[in-house]
Each structure stands twice: as C-alpha cells, then as structure tokens.
Structure 1
Amino acid sequence: MLCRLALLSLVMLLGACQSNNTTVDFDSSRDFAAYRSWVWQEPALQYRPDDPRIKSDLTEQRIRQAVTGQLDQRGLHPAQGNSQGDLKVQSYLIVEQRQQQITTHYGGAWNGYWNGYWGGPMYNETRSVDYKVATIQIDMFDSKDGKLVWRGSAEQIMNNYPPSPEERSSAIYNTVSSALSNYPPARGTTPSP
C-alpha cells in the first residue's frame, strides 16, 4: 500500500511538471509587423551538450520542419531565391539532467468516534527523482543589423527515454509550438520573465 501511495505521488508530481515552461524575450522597440521573410542562420540547430546520443540529422529535420511550419502560421515565410530575408532564425536543443526532492507522509492520527484520537506514528520519506528536460530555444536576428530581436524557449520533460520516432516528432512539434506561441508580440507588451 505504501509503495502504491509513493508511486501515485511521484506520477502526480511529474505529471504536474509535464506542462511546457515557456519564456519569451524581445526587443520592444522593433516593428515585428515589418518582418515578413526569414532564412536559417547557420548552423540552424545547435546542441547543448554536443552529445552524439542527442545530435542527429533526424532530430534536426524534425526541428526545422516544426519551426518552418510554426513561422508560416505566423505570417513569416522562407525568403525566396538568394534573398537574405528580414530575419535570420537559429534554434538550440538543450538537454539537461534535473533532480527533484519528493517527500511522502505516511501514518498519523485519525479522529475517533468519541473525539478520541487513534492511529499509528507518522513517517516521512524523502527521496530524489532524476529526470531529463529538453529545451528548444528559437532566436531571431534582424538581417540588417544582426541584432537579436526575439527569443522564445519551451521545455518538456523527457518521459520515455529513448522515445519512439512518433513520440519525438510530437514532442518537438509541441515544444516548438509553445516556444513560438507568443510570436509576434502584441504592441505594448513586455517580455516574460
């Protein structure tokens, strides 16, 4: 019974962490409505750490497709021909190991029929849970002056490691969608913390 309670609390905690933590920063003095086209800034995708278990042509292809699709939905289209585009886009895949402390409480007293208390002693069990988090960061640079004008990032817990190809594609698509969810920024808004 105690193992089931501990497992249930762990699943609930990791489920709560499932949501994408999204951050956005941008240059509020820029006119984002003027940006209509973009090109990749090479290298288009950088890995942190530069680990061959993470780095692959398939991962890069999935991220490129997700970014291209999301930018297209937001009115930014790939520059045609040899045009430099209005923006240069670069992305990062950052994978890091994290740890969280989980404390489970067992036992304690219960209120009896005649307001008496009964029950066993209370126990606390604290343990560490290790998990991997993947962050996709997307940077946009103004092609004219080379300055960073917008940055968005979203992270996702890697539940099933190694994930299947379908799980990878879905996770990348969802994370890129979250990272770009606040592009273009509305006039008068301020960057998120």
Structure 2
Amino acid sequence: MFTRAALPLLCLSLVACQSNNPYTSESAPIPPAPPVEQIQSPVYPAAPRDFSSYQSWSWRNPPPGTASLAGEELQEMVAGALDQRGLRPAPENTKGDVQISARANMETRVRQTYDDYGPHIGAGHYGGYGSGYGIGTSAPIMRTYEEEVVSVYVEMYDSSSGQAIWSNRAEARSGSNQAERKDAARQAVNNALADYPPR
C-alpha cells in the first residue's frame, strides 16, 4: 500500500527535476594580465648598514660655539670621542667616510621631586608619665627647581651619498662656573656617542 502511494509522488518529483535550471555555467571573462612594467616587485627592508666600513671622518659644518663653550673646544671633545670609537680624522682637505655635524646648547630644565612620608605610628615614653602610643600623618611635598644642562646633538652623514646615517642627542647637568660647564659638555658628547656604532 505504501509503495503505491509513494510511486506517484516519486514520479512527480522526477518531473519537477526536468524543469529548466535557473543557474547557468556562464561567468565574466578573466581580465587580461597587467603589463610587466606595472607589476611591482615586493618591497624588502633595506639591508642593515655596515658601520665598520666607516674608518675616517671630517666636518660637514664645524660646530659653532655657545656663550659658555668655544667652537674649538666642542670640536676637540667630539674628535676625542670619535677617536675612542675607531673613527680617525681624514687627511686635511679631504672628505672622510662620514661627515660630522655637532652643536651644543645651554638649556634650562624644570625638575620636580615628590616626597610623601606617609602615616606614622609609634610607641614610647612621654616625659616620665609612662608609655603611650601615637599616630600621625604628613602631607606630600612637591618641590620644583630649575637646573642648567648642556645639550649636545651629533649627526653623521655618508660622504658618498650625503644621506644621514646616524644621530643622537644627550645632555648633562651643568655647574655654575666655566670648568664645570666644560666637564658637562664633555660628558654630554660622550653620552651622545656612547651608542655608536649602533648594535
């Protein structure tokens, strides 16, 4: 009985399958390939610079002096720091492998210190009247003060390409007299060149 009932339904479903399929196998054509000139090659990071190839240096612009430091003094400090890092001065009237630019400035920095001693709890004897306990608090104290610093900026340029290859800036706290300012400038130069060559 079930087979007789199912047979007409099966025939109807087969007839329904014979109708036109609304989906077609047609598609849009593939666009033509772009010309070879327009294909961009992948961008790779630049190869790391070989700083060991730089053996000599010359001034790009000799550094000017400041109110507390002569230009010749700054030149001597930078030359000494470069010598410690394996860079020798180029022969006179020739360009070194790198060209150096340096400048120094006296600047004022505003510093802040923050002291917070927090709550205090204690026990002890008070004037012969026996022992006792106490608790106290203190307000935070913020102190603001100014200090003079010598700020030094050093730049290096590849002599063949003229491209800037390295720069750094450092500062050191300066004293009030001329000798202390020179010491601060020398320390700032050494701090600025401490990261050369970059690792």
TM over 0.5: yes
Distance 1:100 1:37, change over 3 A: same
Residue by residue, what CA displacement relative to the aligned partner does 1:110-159 show, whole Å, maximum 9, x if unpaired? 2325xx7414442333232122222111111001111111112221122x
Higher relative contact order (CA 8 A, sep 6+): 1
Q: Tell me how far apart the structure 2 counterparts of residues 104 and 65 of structure 1 sit (CA, whole Å).
A: 42
Answer yes or no: is the 8 Å Cα contact 2:151–2:185 preserved in 1: no
Answer yes or no: is the 8 Å Cα contact 2:64–2:70 preserved in 1: no
Q: Tell me how far apart the structure 2 counterparts of residues 95 and 60 of structure 1 sit (CA, whole Å).
A: 14
Residue of 96, 120, 123 corresponding to 1:109? 120
Q: Does 1:92 align with 2:92?
A: no
Between the two proteins, the alignment pairs up a number of residues equal to 149
Letter in 2 for 1:98: R
Q: Tell me how far apart the structure 1 counterparts of residues 86 and 54 of structure 2 sit (CA, whole Å).
A: 9
Q: Does 1:45 align with 2:63?
A: yes
Deviation at 1:97, TM superposition (A): 2.0
Letter in 1 for 2:180: E
Letter in 1 for 2:182: S
Residue of 63, 67, 72 corresponding to 1:55? 67
Structure 2 unaligned regions, length at least 5: 1-45, 125-131
Alignment of 1:5-154 (within 5 A): 29-42=48-61, 44-45=62-63, 54-55=66-67, 58-105=69-116, 108-112=119-123, 117-154=133-170
Deviation at 1:105, TM superposition (A): 3.9
Q: Does 1:157 align with 2:173?
A: yes
Answer yes or no: is the 8 Å Cα contact 2:150–2:185 preserved in 1: no
Give the TM-score normalised by the residue count of structure 1: 0.65
Distance 1:117 1:101, change over 3 A: farther
Instruction: State which structure, 1 or 2, has the greater radius of gyration over its C-alpha atoms.
Output: 2
Q: Which is strand-richer, 1 or 2?
A: 1
Structure 1 unaligned regions, length at least 5: 1-26, 48-53
Answer yes or no: is the 8 Å Cα contact 2:89–2:96 preserved in 1: yes
